Structure 1
Amino acid sequence: MTDLTPLTSLSSALADVVARAAPSLVSVHSHRLRASGFVWKPGLIVTADEALADDGDVEVKLPDGSTKPAKIAGRDHTTDIALLRVETDITPIALSSTVPALGSLAVVVAADRGAATAALGMVSLAGAPWRSLRGGEIDARVELDVRLRHSQQGGLALDTSGQPFGMAVLGPRRVLVIPTATIARVAVQLEARGRIARGYLGLGLQPVRLDDGVGAMVMNVDNAGPSAAAGIRQGDVIVAVNAEKLSGVRALARTLGPQSVGSTVDIAARRGGEPVSFKVTIAERPEA
């Protein structure tokens, strides 16, 4: 018998990694869109929110070829995580909290029309926690040098020992991984409440340039919101929050994460050129 070469050994190990993960992967079909998902808990499937249609029925195709209707249990566009409820007895896959090292190999296992697919790549970036452009808190910045089809979004990213370290999604010009720590944190809230609580000031803001920096002009005020209760009016210009100069409207919006709900902030503003200040207790953003 011919001795195994390093390449054949690697090939065999990778095939084993894929084979062990594949039974927990499913295809997700929603209004002309196809994606992948994985069984997170019995009857609960995690998939990529970006790859899930905004309306219409959702179906899940299982590894045995059968198709099941799915209901959206919750979705969070800021972290690109959606949770589906499906009647299935597929065994959930255990997620690992490990963040892979830069330069290590990674396998993305996904599903297309119920059939397992796989792609091999490399961890091209492994960095610190970050905020998505939509304000979601992601526990680690992980990027993969791998080419994925749209239908592979929502697939699992595995290290070479077969440990799932996150969900693969298509970002701008790169493949991103939503780490398992983020999935665990967000999916639990989606299971319980159907959404993630976000902070709400009840203001419509427009950036403006000032002689000494930037500000945010109040264009409209929700009369039932916390800012109206604090006395903020249309036309006021916000210049600082908690004594920190405002760096922009987007930066202000990014501070309104789940942890902000219920906290009180000091807002410095100008009204007719004169300084005014307010204490605003951040509310939870309404669903609508």
Structure 2
Amino acid sequence: MPKEKSPSLYRKSLIAVAMTSALAGAVLANGPLSAVVSAYADPVSVDAPAQPGFADVVAKVSPAVVSVRVNSDVRPASDPSDQGQGFFSGPGFDQLPDDHPLKRFFREFGGEGGQWGRPGSKQKRGENRPGRERPVAQGSGFFISEDGYLVTNNHVVSDGDAYTVVLDDGTELDAKLVGTDPRTDLAVLKVNDPKRKFTYVAFGDDNKIRVGDWVVAVGNPFGLGGTVTAGIVSARGRDIGAGPYDDFIQIDAAVNRGNSGGPAFNQQGQVIGINTAIFSPSGGSVGIAFAIPASTAKQVVDQIIKTGSVQRGWIGVQIQPVTKEIAESLGLSEAKGAIVASPQDGGPAAKAGIEAGDVITAVNGETVDDSRDLARKVAAIAPGQKAELTVWRKNKAMTINVEITSMPKNVEQANTEKPAQPGKPESLDSYGLTVVPSDDGKGVVVTDVDPDSDAADKGIRSGDTIVSVNNKPVKGVGDINAAIADAAKSGRSAVLLQLQSNDQSRFVALPIAKG
């Protein structure tokens, strides 16, 4: 039988029930329970310092950045590699209904299927849509003056006959081509509108930027219009094989087709580079983009605006980089400078006394880092001026004055195959080479190369002619062996061979065989 509650416990129970009933009445009368008692803790909130953004920079520079539309009476058939075309091309696109929005979009801006047709052909005006010019490219650009001069890439405008500039607010204006420079992939357009004063940006000093600095890219990717991306400077001085003046800034801001010609800004709103190429196995951004340095662009753009073209200094030499092995074979303390493979007959360098095998280490007192650096330094000197070249020859430095001339429009280079040379084969067993005397008595011709030898690793091939060793002329194998012996006595670990092939000269440093 259960125990009965004591009177005191009973009274406490009644009081508790009464209080609960009163609380319930208060809730019903006054609103939710939270109005009386807080049921939850405060939400999570982090009091962190504000991170700097790019909104202020973007707001200032965006009106100066434009989209560039290029039209032509003749349309390239192949899909341009970086001109904003082929946006969504792929399997199944041509199976879309004719009234599908994407298909209408590409009829207007990219051609059927986002492709121009078959490589190697050209489609003339009127074959598909009679009576109008065809768009051949879309890219980006930016104003550099109040009166309407703007910069873009040469490869954006190269196939065009008519150019339209689309401003940040959507206004479309016609532009004329002022001039181009294919060697640096730069072009200048001009919008003639006397009633307008355009917002413009200035070139910054790209020499002050460091790897890791922030950059902001603004452009027209995939024809979408003004788009902003940000990243950092990933590397400097990149050589991507685009030309003799390669000196690209690598950035990881997202750059895609259509961004070509668009600016890369520093945090002060200055242009430190012009986006020109991407590395991508897929065609889209993978975080590796290349920009033309502002210092290069400014020189080229100024010349184009003043004269409509670009004149570069030229001395007429075929050059190659100085590798560690070449430096060792010549007694240089470091692998810097550019070695002259051959001076062009009648050129400024040849007239001044520059010889094959000379290493140009400085121009007007400025150190030459490599062959590309020499090309840029000489190109920057106005034709008609003299340049003082510091040259390393026969274990000592000397100075040679060269008169700079204009680079010829077409520098012809012969490409004639040399016939097989008769003569008695001789072997350089330690180097895996078999040679015969050349028929003109200048050098020996390589007839066989052991594929497992150092010579093969260095790129020596059958048909190459060895014309000198350590800058000493070669007439036979005896001359080669004597030069190698002299180098070994001097404590060098390599000898420098001058090779000629197809009328082109180059140098190869070959390790001295031990034993």
Using the size of structure 2 for normalisation, the TM-score is 0.41
Cα distance change, pair 95–241 in 1 and its aligned pair in 2 (3 A) = closer
Please state if 1:110 is matched with 2:214: no
How many residue pairs match? The answer is 259
Shift of 1:44: 0.3
Instruction: Write the letter of the residue equivalent to 2:381.
Output: Q
DSSP-derived class of the 1:115 partner: coil
Q: Which SS does the other structure have where 1:186 is aligned?
A: helix
Match of 2:381, SS state, is helix
Seq. identity, %? 27
Matched, 1:134 2:273: no
Map 1:9-24 to 2 at 5 A.
9-10=50-51, 13-24=53-64
CA distance in 1, matches of 2:294, 2:342: 39
Aligned counterpart for 2:254 among listed residues 147, 155, 159: 147
8 Å CA contact 1:39–1:91 kept in 2: the answer is yes
Residue equivalent to 1:40: 144
Q: Is 1:65 the equivalent of 2:170?
A: yes
Deviation at 1:25, TM superposition (A): 0.7
- Inter-CA distance 72–10: structure 2 relative to 1 (3 Å threshold): farther
TM-score (norm 1): 0.67
8 Å contact 1:35–1:51 — kept in the other structure?
Answer: yes
* Map of 1:234 onto structure 2: none
* Partner of residue 295 from structure 2, selected from 181, 188, 208: 181
1:156 match: 263
SS at match of 2:290: strand
**In 2, Cα distance between the equivalents of 1:243 and 1:107?**
36
Answer with 1 or 2: which has the greater Rg.
Answer: 2
Residue 45 of structure 1: how far off its partner (Å): 0.2
Q: CA RMSD in A?
A: 4.6
Higher normalized helix content (fraction of residues): 2
Match of residue 259, structure 1, among 381, 389, 393: 381
Task: State the 1:103 CA deviation.
Answer: 2.0
Greater percentage in strand: 1
State the SS of the aligned residue for 2:210: coil
Higher relative contact order (CA 8 A, sep 6+): 1
Q: Are the equivalent residues in 2 in contact too, given 1:265–1:282 (CA < 8 A)?
A: no
Q: CA deviation at 1:67?
A: 2.3
- In structure 2, how many angstroms separate the alpha carbons of the residues matched to 1:48 and 1:283? 27
Q: What is the identity, as a one-letter code, of the residue corresponding to 1:116?
A: G
**CA shift for structure 1 position 132:** 7.0
C-alpha displacement of 1:143? 1.5
SS in 2 for 1:150: coil
CA contact (8 A) 1:242 1:265 kept: no
Instruction: Give 5+ residue unaligned stretches, structure 2.
Output: 1-43, 72-135, 281-287, 321-328, 331-338, 363-370, 390-400, 411-515
Tell whether the 8 Å contact from 1:124 to 1:144 is kept in structure 2 after alignment: yes
Q: Distance in 2 between matches of 1:130 and 1:35?
A: 23
1-structure distance, mates of 2:372, 2:267: 39
Offset of residue 69 of structure 1: 2.3
Amino acid at match of 2:277: L
In the alignment, structure 1 segments of 5+ residues that lack a partner are: 231-236, 267-278
Task: Tell me by how many angstroms 1:37 deviates.
Answer: 0.5
What amino acid maps onto 1:104 in structure 2? Answer: D
